[in-house]
Every structure is written in C-alpha cells, then in structure tokens.
Amino acid sequence: MYETQYHRASSIQDAVKLRQAAGEGKYLSGGMTLIPTMKQRLAAPTDLVDVRQISEMKGITVSGRTVRIGAATTHFEVASSAELAAVCPAIAGLASHIGDPHVRHMGTIGGSIANNDPAADYPSAMLALDATIVTDRREIAAGDFFTGLFETALEDGELVTAVTFEAPAKAAYQKFANPASRYAMTGVFVARRDNGDVRVAVTGAGSNGVFRHKGMEAALSAQWSPDALAGVTVDPSDLLSDIHADASYRANLVKVMAKRAVAAA
C-alpha cells in the first residue's frame, strides 16, 4: 500500500468537503474492495474519507412500502433486517449471500453500487426494483446510474447517501456463484409490481455490466410463471466470455436463473 491520509467524516457535507480538499481522494466505506486494491498497489488515493460513521447514511427505514437504505448500511444489516424482510425478502436474501461473514459485516450497499463491479449482486436488485440512488446533490434512477463496467453516473466527488425503492409485489434473486470468487457468474433479480409490470435485471453476465432483459420482462408481464420464459431466447453476443464461462453458457444461466427466480418469488 502507498502512503495515504485517513479522514473520518462526521456528516455528508463534511465528507464532500474533505473529499474536495483532497488531491486524489476517495471515499472509503466498508473498504472490502478499496483496501485490497490499495494493498495490491492498484489504487493510490492520497486521501481516504471514511463515510461509515455518518449517521444520516446508516440504517434502514420502511414506511408503508417505501424503503430507504442508507449507503453506509452493511450487507449484514440488510440481510438481517426484519422490517425489510417483511416487505422485500428478496433483497435481504441477496445480501445474505454476498461474500462471507467478514465481508458482510464490513461491506456496504453504497460501496457496492458505487463500485459497480460487473459481478456484484446489488446492481441487479437496484435495476429490477427501479430504485433511486440518492446522492449529496441529486437523485438518480437506477436505470441511469449503472453505465458500464465499474462505471456509474456519479460525478467526481459525488457521494451516494442512500437508495430508495417501492417494495414490489413479488421478487426474488437467484445467483449462480463463480466457483472461485463466489461473486455472481450470473445473477438474476426479478421483480413484479402490483400493476403487473415486471423487471428482470441480470448481473455477472453482461459484457457491459448489469442489464435488463426486455424479452423476459415482456413474457413475464404477459404471464408470471417460469414456463413463460420457455420461448424466450437470450442472445449471447452481449455476454461475457472469460476463463470461467463463455457467453453461450452464461446465456443459458441467465434463462435458468430467471426461471428459478420466478419460481422462488
């Protein structure tokens, strides 16, 4: 690790100010991605602005069917919130399968979506739940937020403070874990609104990161059942090929995981 300055922010404004004052600064949340990257000398921020102690950014509130999760909320907190499980067990279940207990007690939802690892779990939930990403300066629809591999709509120094969404009528996440890293080799989040609208978001498989599958959404909007997906094809040409799995296999997984998610929802 190269030398760096550590700052602990006490409020959202404080964090943004510290970050602006820094040379090549970075926000630090759970550190589960950033710290290993720094240890391997692949990142060299001059300053780290720790946002985990900012109370406005922590915790889960559920009012009616409206959910707000602070950006500094850990995966463990999301996985174990009874309030959240009552309205959206799918996202709690997703969080319970991220990494291992250490990672879940440190890693945060804000860090995960800001990082937008193409194999991360949360981005698919955000997209399928049509969540809103709240920052220090604006609100961004999930559909506009995830822009590519490790790319988001965040501006330099912009801080994710929370995510909000309306709990769906039904939802489920099915993850096919990479045998080595146990990140998603393909993960599919399906969500169905009371009005019958369906969103299907796929992570781990797209060559440009998380994406929605419109064909499956149409089929499931017409008929909410695993069988409805039988005739849908998944085009491998936009999918990732790597040493673990090629695009044709991922295309198969997208469909199988989607079917299983619908069955589980």
Partner 1 sequence: MGVEGIGARVARKEDKRLLTGKGRYTDDMSVPGMKYAIFVRSPYAHAKIRSIDATAAKAMPGVIGVLDGKQLLADGIGNLICGWMIHSKDGSPMKMGAWRPLAHETVRYVGDAVAIVVADSVAEAKDAAEAVVVDYQELPVVTDATKALEQGQPQLHPEAPNNLIFDWQIGDPAATDKAIASAAHVTEITIHNNRLSPNPMEPRATLGIYDGGDEHYTCYTTSQNPHVARLVMSAFYNVAPENKLRVIAPDVGGGFGSKIYIYPEEIVCLWASKRTGVPVKWTSDRTEAFLTDAHGRDHLSKVKMAFDANNRIIGLKVDTVANLGAYMSLFSSAVPTYLYATLLSGQYDIPAIHANVRTVYTNTAPVDAYRGAGRPEATYLLERTMETAARELGVSPAELRRINFIRSFPHQTPVIMNYDAGDYDASLDAAMKAADWNGFAARKAEAAGRGMKRGIGMSCYIEACGIAPSAAVGSLGAGVGLWESAEVRVNAVGTIEVLTGSHSHGQGHETTFAQLVADRFGVPIDSVNIVHGDTDKVQMGMGTYGSRSGAVGMSAVVKALDKVEAKAKKIAAHLMEADESDIVIENGELKVAGTDKTVPWFQMALAAYTAHNLPPGMEPGLKEGAFYDPANFTFPAGCYICEVEVDPETGVTKIIQFVAADDFGNIINPMIVEGQVHGGLAQGIGQALLENVHYDPENGQLLTASYMDYAMPRADDLPSFKVSTSNTPCPNNPLGIKGCGEAGAIGSPPALINAITDAIGNNRLTMPATPQKVWAAAHAAN
Ligand X SMILES: Cc1cc2nc3c(=O)[nH]c(=O)nc-3n(C[C@H](O)[C@H](O)[C@H](O)COP(=O)(O)OP(=O)(O)OC[C@H]3O[C@@H](n4cnc5c(N)ncnc54)[C@H](O)[C@@H]3O)c2cc1C
User: With binding defined as CB under 6 A, does residue 186 bind ligand X?
Assistant: no
- Given candidates 145, 146, 165, 176, which one binds partner 1 under the rule CB under 8 A? 176
DSSP one-letter string for 57-95: G--EEEETTEEEEETT-BHHHHHH-HHHHHH-HHHHHHH
Compose the 194-233 pattern: x for residues touching ligand X by CB under 6 A, - for all others.
----------------------------------------
Region near partner 1 per CB under 8 A, out of 128-136, 175-183, 188-196, 222-230: 175-183
The structure tokens 């409805």 sit at 228
Q: Give residues 94-133 in contact with partner 1 (rule: CB under 8 A).
A: none
Q: CB nearer to ligand X: give 28 or 69.
A: 28
- Cα of first residue to Cα of last residue in the chain, in angstroms, is 44
Tokens found for residue 154: 């965040």
Region near partner 1 per CB under 8 A, out of 127-135, 148-156, 179-187, 224-232: 179-187
Would you give the distance in Å from CA 38 to the centre of its chain? 22
Do 114 and 161 contact (CB within 8 A), yes or no? no
The structure tokens 């990672």 sit at 103
Q: Give residues 82-141 in contact with ligand X (rule: CB under 6 A).
A: 98-99, 103, 107-108, 110-112, 114-115, 117, 120-122
Residue type, 180: A
Region near ligand X per CB under 6 A, out of 25-33, 193-201, 233-241, 249-257: 25-33
Q: Is 109 helix (H, G, I), strand (E, B) or coil?
A: helix
User: With binding defined as CB under 6 A, does residue 34 bind ligand X?
Assistant: yes
Comparing CA positions, the residue from 50, 161, 37, 36 lying closest to residue 110 is: 161
Q: CB nearer to partner 1: give 147 or 181.
A: 181
Would you give the distance in Å from CA 211 to the centre of its chain? 12
The CA-atom distances, in angstroms, between 111 and each of 20, 37, 75, 116 are: 19, 14, 10, 8
Residues in contact with 179: Cβ distance below 8 Å, sequence separation at least 6, in sequence order: 185, 244
The DSSP symbol for 46 reads: S
The DSSP symbol for 32 reads: T
Q: CB nearer to partner 1: give 61 or 241.
A: 241
User: With binding defined as CB under 8 A, does residue 252 bind partner 1?
Assistant: yes
Which entry of ligand X, partner 1, none binds 26, CB below 5 to 8 A by partner kind? Answer: ligand X
Comparing CA positions, the residue from 141, 125, 130, 123 lying closest to residue 90 is: 125
Which entry of partner 1, ligand X, none binds 103, CB below 5 to 8 A by partner kind? Answer: ligand X
Task: Quote the least distance from Cβ 242 to partner 1, whole Å.
Answer: 9
User: With binding defined as CB under 8 A, does residue 179 bind partner 1?
Assistant: yes
Q: Which residues bind ligand X (CB under 6 A)?
A: 26-34, 51, 71, 98-99, 103, 107-108, 110-112, 114-115, 117, 120-122, 154, 159-160, 182-183
Q: Which residues bind partner 1 (CB under 8 A)?
A: 1-2, 40-41, 176, 179-181, 183, 243-246, 249, 252-253, 256
